Structure 1
Amino acid sequence: MSNTIESIFKSHLKPKKVYQGGKNPPASHGKKIYKLSSNENPLGQSPKATEALLKAAKNIAVYPDQTDIRLREALVKDFDGQLNVDQFICGNSGSEIIDMLLRAFINEGDEVIYSNPCFLPYAVFSRWYGAKQVDIPLLYPSYDLDIEGILNGITEKTKIIFLTSPNNPTGTYIPKSVLDDFFNRIPKNIVVVFDEVYRHFADAKDYISGLPYVKAGHNIVAINSFSKTYGLAGQRIGYCYATATIANYIRQIHKPFLLPITSIEAAIGALNDTSFVTKTVKTVQEGRNYLANEFAKLGIKYWPSQGNFFIVDPPLPEFEFTDMLMEKGIMVRPVSQFGAPGKVRITIGTQEANEALIKALKK
C-alpha cells in the first residue's frame, strides 16, 4: 500500500484540461482596446442594477439573505407568472448551476452527453464527479445538433444530456421541431440540461426556449445567466428553472447564504429594468446584421448566429489572426478549447466597436 498523498487522490481528478475564461484587456498605454472576446454586454450594466448594488454595498458587513427566495419571487414576475417560485433555483453564475446539477445527479461511472463545439465546463465539470463523457459532435459544416447520434448514444448509464440553444461558440440554435421530436423520444429517467443563456438575442421564427417543455412536465432544467443580457458578468449570478419535482430535489444541496447581497440586489434591479434589456437586444441584433453583411463583403466565412457573437473561419491561422487583431486594438477569442479548431469567436459590440473591428479586418 502506497503511503504517498497522491495515493488517495481521486483518479478522475488527476490534472487534465481545465476551463480558462476569457482574458481582460492588457494595459493599453493609452491605446483604445475593444474587448470582443467574452460575450459581455456591449452597453455595460443596467443603471437600475448599479443603483441597487451600490445601495446594498453599504450593508456588506451583514450576512445576505439565507435563501434565494426574493430573487426567485422577482423571476416569477419576470416570467409573467408562468412558473411558480418553487421552480427556480439561483446560484453564483450559470456555471455554478451546471456544477450543482452534476452534483445532484451524477455518481462515478454515470454518463453525460454533450456535443462539441460547446461550452467547455460541460466536460470539465463532469470529470470532477467521475462521469464518463460522451461527445456526440455537432454536424459539420452546419454545426446542427446530431439528434439521431445523441439518441443512439444513450445507454442505461446516461443521466444528463447537455443541449445549448443558442450554442456557444457556434451561435447555432435548435429549432422547435427538432426539440419536439427529441422530447418525444428521450427516456423519462434522463435530465436534459438546456443552456439558454443567450435566449434573449434569438429572433429566428422557430427558436424556442425551455419554458414550454418545463410547463409540459418534461425533465428539463433550463439554465440562464445575468452575465449577458443584464450585464452582470462581474457579479457571477445565474439561475435555472425546472419542474417543481426536479427543482425541489436540487434545492436539497443549495447552500444557505449562497448569494452575496450585492448580487441579489443587482439581479433584482436588473430584472426591473426592462428598457435596458430592450436596448441591449436591439443593439446586439442590429450589430449582428451589420457584421454579417460586412463579413460577407470581405469574404470572411462565418456562421449565422442567434447569440451576441459570431464564430468565423479566419483567413489566417487562428492565433496569428487574433494576434494581428490585438495589435489593432481588437480582442477576439480562438475557440479550439471549445472543440472548434482553427475557428475564432467574435463578440458583437457597440456600433463603434463593430466598425473598429471591420476597419481592422480590412487592413
Structure 2
Amino acid sequence: MSSGIESIFKSYLQPKKAYEGGKGIPVDSSKKIYKLSSNENPLGQSPKATKALLEAAHHVHIYPDQTDIRLREALVQDFNNELTKDQFICGNSGSELIDMILRAFINEGDEVIYSNPCFLPYSVFSRWYGAKQIDVPLLDPDYSLDMEGILNAITEKTKVIFLTSPNNPTGTYIPKAILDNFLSRIPKNIIIVFDEVYRHFADAQDYVSGLPYVKEGHNLIAINSFSKTYGLAGLRIGYCYTTEKIAQYIRQIHKPFLLPHTSTEAAIGALNDSEFISATVKTVLVGRKFLSQAFERLGIKHWPTQANFFLIDPPLPEVEFADFLMGHGVMVRPVSQFGAPGKVRITIGDQESNEALVNVLEKIKPRL
C-alpha cells in the first residue's frame, strides 16, 4: 500500500531533467585526453594557491573559520578598496551563491526572468523555490540581449532578473551603453543577478563589470567564481558583491562554518598571485585569436567571444561531432541543455590543446 507520502511533495519539485555538469576524463582512458569541455583554467592552478592549500591540509582536523570574513577582507584588497568587506558574500561556488540569492528573495509564484541560451542553474534553481520562469531568449543571430523583451516581460511578480556578461555558453557580452540604459529602466524592487564569472577574459572596450553599478547603489548582485581565472574549480568556491543593505539581508541565511579551511586558504593565495592571473588571461587571449583564425580557415561557424570558450555550429550533428572529437582525444560540450540546440561549446586551452583540437577538426573535412 502506498504511504501517500507523494501527497506532501511540492508540485514544482516533481521529477524533471536536472542540470548535468560537464563530464570528467574517463578514468580508464589509455590515451591522452584534451579536456576542452568545462571551461577550466588551461594553466592549472595558481602556485600560491597550491602552497596555501598544502599548508592548510595540516589543519583539517580543526573547524574552519565560522564566517567568511578573512576571504572578504582579501577581496577588499583585490578590488583596491573600492568596496567594503560588508559588500561581499562568499560561498561554495558561484552556483551556491545563485541558490542562496533565490532562497533569500523568491517565494512560490514569484517570477524570475532569464535569457536562453544561458547557464542552466538559473532555471533549475528557480524551480526549486516555486518560481514562475520567464525565458526572454537572446536575439538571433548574434545572441545579444533582448532588452525591450525583458522590460516588457516584467510584472508586479518579477523578483529576479538574470543577466550574464560574458554569457555562458555564447561568449557574448552586454555593452556598457546597453546595460546603462537597461538598468535605468528597471523597477527599484527587482534584484539583478549579474553573472560575471568570465570577466577577466573580456577585453572589449565597452565591456563593463557590475562594480560601477553596485557603487552607484543599483540593486545588483555580481556573481564571481574562483573556478576559471584562478584554477580552483575542484575546491568549489566563489563570491558575490552587492550593496551593503542587500548583502546584510542575504547574510542572514549564510551558514556558519560554510567554507572549508582548505578552500578559503587557497582562494586567498590565488588572489595574491597576480603573475598567474596575468599568464592565464594572456594564454586565453592568444588561444582565442588562434582558434578564431582556425575556425575561419576551416569554415566552421562560430560566434565572437569575450570568454575562455567558443560557441560553434558544428559541421556534424552535435552529439556525433562530440563523439568524433572524443574518439580522437578531444572533449567538447554539446549545449542543447543550455538552450542552444545543435551547438557545441569548446574551451580555449593551452597551445598544445588548441593545436590538437584543430588537427582533429581537419580530419572531419573528408567526412562531409
TM-score with structure 1 setting the length:
0.99
The one-letter amino acid paired with 1:94 is: G
Matches within 5 A, 1:1-363: 4-27=4-27, 29-363=29-363
Where 1:222 maps in the other structure, the secondary structure is strand
CA deviation vs aligned residue, 1:68-113 (integer Å, no higher than 9, x gap): 0000000000000000000000000000000000000000000000
Where 1:240 maps in the other structure, the secondary structure is strand
CA deviation vs aligned residue, 1:218-261 (integer Å, no higher than 9, x gap): 00000000000000000000000000010111000000000000
Distance 1:168 1:28 in 2: 30
- Runs of 4 or more, structure 1, over 2 Å off, are 27-30
The one-letter amino acid paired with 2:262 is: T
CA deviation vs aligned residue, 1:155-205 (integer Å, no higher than 9, x gap): 000000000000000000000000000111000000000000000000000
The one-letter amino acid paired with 1:279 is: A
Displacement of 1:54: 0.6
The one-letter amino acid paired with 2:166 is: P
Where 2:310 maps in the other structure, the secondary structure is strand
Displacement of 1:30: 3.0
Percent same amino acid among aligned pairs?
Answer: 76
Distance 1:351 1:344 in 2: 20
Where 1:167 maps in the other structure, the secondary structure is coil
Distance 1:63 1:267 in 2: 17
The one-letter amino acid paired with 2:145 is: L
Where 1:138 maps in the other structure, the secondary structure is coil
Distance 2:77 2:325 in 1: 43
Where 2:223 maps in the other structure, the secondary structure is strand
Displacement of 1:27: 3.3
Where 2:342 maps in the other structure, the secondary structure is coil
The one-letter amino acid paired with 2:306 is: Q
The one-letter amino acid paired with 1:271 is: L
Where 1:239 maps in the other structure, the secondary structure is strand
CA deviation vs aligned residue, 1:39-84 (integer Å, no higher than 9, x gap): 0000000000000001001010100000000000000000000000
Question: 2:366: which partner in 1?
Answer: none
The one-letter amino acid paired with 1:199 is: R
The answer for unaligned runs of 5 or more in structure 1 is: none
Distance 1:258 1:218 in 2: 28
Distance 1:237 1:295 in 2: 34
Displacement of 1:28: 5.3
Distance 1:205 1:3 in 2: 61
Where 1:182 maps in the other structure, the secondary structure is helix
Distance 1:83 1:17 in 2: 39
Distance 2:17 2:126 in 1: 12
The one-letter amino acid paired with 1:222 is: A
Where 2:297 maps in the other structure, the secondary structure is helix
Count of residues in correspondence between the two structures: 362
Distance 2:188 2:206 in 1: 25
TM-score with structure 2 setting the length:
0.98
Distance 1:71 1:42 in 2: 25
Where 1:18 maps in the other structure, the secondary structure is coil
Displacement of 1:141: 1.2
Displacement of 1:125: 0.2
Where 1:355 maps in the other structure, the secondary structure is helix
The answer for unaligned runs of 5 or more in structure 2 is: 364-368
CA deviation vs aligned residue, 1:340-361 (integer Å, no higher than 9, x gap): 0000000000000000000000
The one-letter amino acid paired with 2:106 is: I
The one-letter amino acid paired with 1:326 is: M
Displacement of 1:26: 1.1
Where 1:161 maps in the other structure, the secondary structure is strand
Where 2:160 maps in the other structure, the secondary structure is strand
Q: Which sits farther off after the overlay, 289-298 or 18-27?
A: 18-27
Distance 1:138 1:339 in 2: 10
Distance 1:32 1:258 in 2: 37
Where 1:258 maps in the other structure, the secondary structure is coil
| Cα RMSD (Å) | 0.8
